[in-house]
Amino acid sequence: QKEVEQNSGPLSVPEGAIASLNCTYSDRGSQSFFWYRQYSGKSPELIMFIYSNGDKEDGRFTAQLNKASQYVSLLIRDSQPSDSATYLCAVNAPTLIQGAQKLVFGQGTRLTINP
């Protein structure tokens, strides 16, 4: 079982609709959860992070975390063509360096917003 799993897509959503991206993780000890957006040929950029159960909203983006079910999701409201990208879910994990954490990434979900 992969540590972080995402549906690779492609996920196609009409412009103006809500895009829903899901991610599950295997380590119950994980505390920090991140969503990154990666445009083709570019490096990832941080969209949101969430640490507590429930919803966290930032503009058109809402991250949802359910630690009991070990899933985290990202909702994008009023989807725009510029939202078309690959969305990476990342979860923290310990490293061999004391006190340091690393991020484990899912394979990413490719999202296409259709005008």
Of 11-19, 28-36, 63-71, 77-85, which segment contacts another protein by CB under 8 A? 28-36
The one among 1, 69, 97, 115 contacting another protein by CB under 8 A: 97
Contact set for another protein, span 56-75 (CB under 8 A): none
Residue 28 burial (10 A CB sphere; 0-12, 13-18, 19+): exposed
The DSSP code for 78 is: S
Q: Is 39 in the site for another protein (CB under 8 A)?
A: no
Q: Is 106 in the site for another protein (CB under 8 A)?
A: yes
Tokens read off for 104: 């484990």
Q: Is 95 in the site for another protein (CB under 8 A)?
A: yes
Residue in 57, 54, 44 with CA at minimum distance from that of residue 103:
44
Centre a 10 Å sphere on the Cβ of residue 45 and count the other Cβ atoms it contains: 11
Contacting residues toward another protein, per CB under 8 A: 32, 34, 36, 42-46, 49, 88, 92, 95-97, 99-108
